[in-house]
Amino acid sequence: MATNVSSVLSSIGALAEPRLASAKVTGLTLLALLLTAIGLGTGVYSFIVGHEHLYAVTREVPWGILISSYAYFAIISTGLCLLAAISHLFGGNALAPLANRGVYLSIITILSAFSIIGMELESPWRMLIYNVLTPNLSSNIWWMGTLYGLAVACMAVEFLAILMGRFGIAVAIGCVGALAEVGANSNLGAVFATLAARPFWYGAQLPVYFLASAVTCGAAAIIMFTHIAYKLRGEEVDAETKAGIKSAGKIMTMMLFLLAVATVWRTIVFFTGETELSSAAVANLLTGPASINFWLFETLIGMVIPIGLLLFSRMENLAAMSAAAFMVLVGAFFQRYDLVTVGQQTPVYYGLETSLPSFMGYAPSAGELLVVMGGIALTFLGFLAGERLFGKVFRHSGHH
């Protein structure tokens, strides 16, 4: 038994990428580790002094940037997992060289999501205990947490199977994990979509919108991180990997068009067929305090410029594709932030009582921003560690 374990560990150890043990990569890893410690350490400090002293959320706006950042990373994880599962399941497709890295990054991004939501909850340990002891099958949040937990377990087993060369097991477990991620992602959207008191969220479109966003962000993440991985190695991207990146770029372009159409129609519906409350919320997004986020980051940086770069470069220039992917991820971050905050900033009593404020302000505190920084840094720390420890397995994913 001990011999078998030693053999497995030895074979996994052989997958390390020696050329990434450079001073530059080590320095970047240490920087990411430091930023992760500062950010998540700030979250731990909030348990000592109290969340109300460190975070800017209030009774009127109880969900802030930590909730939106959790959704952001969880959605990226879903997209990565889904694309990797489709690639592994059907095999022989252009995305195959990116699949193993997609599985690993899916694990890292969901762990980043969990780290942020863990810092946001005042008693995260209660969630872990009572999620098992007193399950609430009618709760979207219960299903979301349970399915994401199942997905993490499946992806961890899948990646271990990939490392051990058990590709049949990896494909089977990966499909279960992908289904769990899709279910969790849909329930994440339903957490907002089933709140009838918030017309800006309410409706059947958000679960589907979240899934479309997941595919977009997953494609963007695998493009950007694959390009960075080759830059760190100082290598030219090989032909098979380049074909995979181009396929991911085509998927990202198509999904950006669909998201743009969905955004236009969602806005039109709010102004024509919804309540005064939802119209006020959209006005805040289009012409109010949130308009810079919407027009500059969501629309211009998150959709218009990336589509232009992808079409203009004809997906032949990897640097342009990586830049477009980065901008898509930046835009998606602001999309999640605006969705969460704008939905709360117009109060439920809007138009009913003139003596009360018609708009509830919210701006992230320094503590919240540090926690978000910690989550972002954790993603890059996991990426760098994965490229160093398992780098060779990311080169050999096209055969299963």
Q: Is the pTM of this model over 0.85?
A: yes
Report which of residues 15 and 227 the model is more confident about.
227
Q: What is the pLDDT of residue 354?
A: 65
Asked if pLDDT for residue 396 goes beyond 70, the answer is: no
Radius of gyration of the chain measured on its C-alpha atoms: 21
Give the separation between CA 213 and CA 264, rounded to whole angstroms: 15
What's the mean pLDDT when you consider all of the chain? 89
350 pLDDT band (50/70/90 cuts)?
Answer: low
Asked if pLDDT for residue 127 goes beyond 90, the answer is: no
Report which of residues 103 and 356 the model is more confident about.
103
Q: What is the mean pLDDT of residues 275-290?
A: 82
399 pLDDT band (50/70/90 cuts)?
Answer: very low
91 pLDDT band (50/70/90 cuts)?
Answer: low
Encode pLDDT of 362-384 as tens digits: 999 999 999 999 999 999 999 99
Encode pLDDT of 30-52 as tens digits: 999 999 999 999 999 999 999 88
Asked if pLDDT for residue 133 goes beyond 90, the answer is: no
* Among candidate residues 219, 212, 211, the one with its CA nearest the CA of residue 325: 219
Cα-based torsion angle of the residue sequence 295, 300, 303, 305 in order, rounded to the nearest 10 degrees: 180
Report which of residues 392 and 358 the model is more confident about.
392
Q: What is the pLDDT of residue 355?
A: 66
Q: What is the pLDDT of residue 9?
A: 53
Report which of residues 33 and 12 the model is more confident about.
33
Alpha helices in 275-365 (DSSP H): 276-286, 291-292, 305-313, 318-345
* Among candidate residues 103, 115, 109, the one with its CA nearest the CA of residue 72: 109
User: From the centroid of its chain, how far is CA 212?
Assistant: 12
Q: What is the mean pLDDT of residues 226-243?
A: 92
Two tokens at 381? 């720390």
Q: Tell me the domains of the chain and their CATH numbers.
A: 21-394 (1.20.1630.10)
Q: What is the pLDDT of residue 11?
A: 59
Please say whether the beta carbons of 358 and 347 come within 8 A: yes
4 pLDDT band (50/70/90 cuts)?
Answer: low
Q: What is the pLDDT of residue 400?
A: 46
Q: What is the pLDDT of residue 267?
A: 85
Two tokens at 334? 């602001």
The proportion of the chain whose per-residue pLDDT surpasses 70, expressed as a percent, equals 92
Q: What is the mean pLDDT of residues 252-276?
A: 86
Residues 6 or more apart from 181 whose CB is under 8 A from it?
A: 77, 78, 81, 82, 106, 147, 148, 151
Give the separation between CA 57 and CA 67, rounded to whole angstroms: 11
* CA 257 to each of CA 79, 222, 262, 310: distance values in angstroms, whole numbers, following the listed order: 17, 19, 9, 12
CA angle 247, 185, 294 (to 5 degrees): 75
Q: What is the pLDDT of residue 167?
A: 86
Two tokens at 248? 């991911």
Report which of residues 143 and 21 the model is more confident about.
143
Please say whether the beta carbons of 209 and 262 come within 8 A: yes
298 pLDDT band (50/70/90 cuts)?
Answer: very high
* Among candidate residues 149, 158, 216, the one with its CA nearest the CA of residue 181: 149
DSSP letters spanning 85-151: HHHHHH-SSTTHHHHHHHHHHHHHHHHHHHHHHHHHSS-HHHHHHHHHHS--TT-HHHHHHHHHHHH
Residues in the chain: 400
Q: What is the mean pLDDT of residues 287-311?
A: 94
Give the separation between CA 86 and CA 94, rounded to whole angstroms: 11
Residue for token pair 């198509």: 254
Residues 6 or more apart from 228 whose CB is under 8 A from it?
A: 322, 383
Maximum alpha-carbon separation in the chain: 76
Two tokens at 389? 């420890």
Report which of residues 12 and 69 the model is more confident about.
69
Q: What is the pLDDT of residue 189?
A: 93
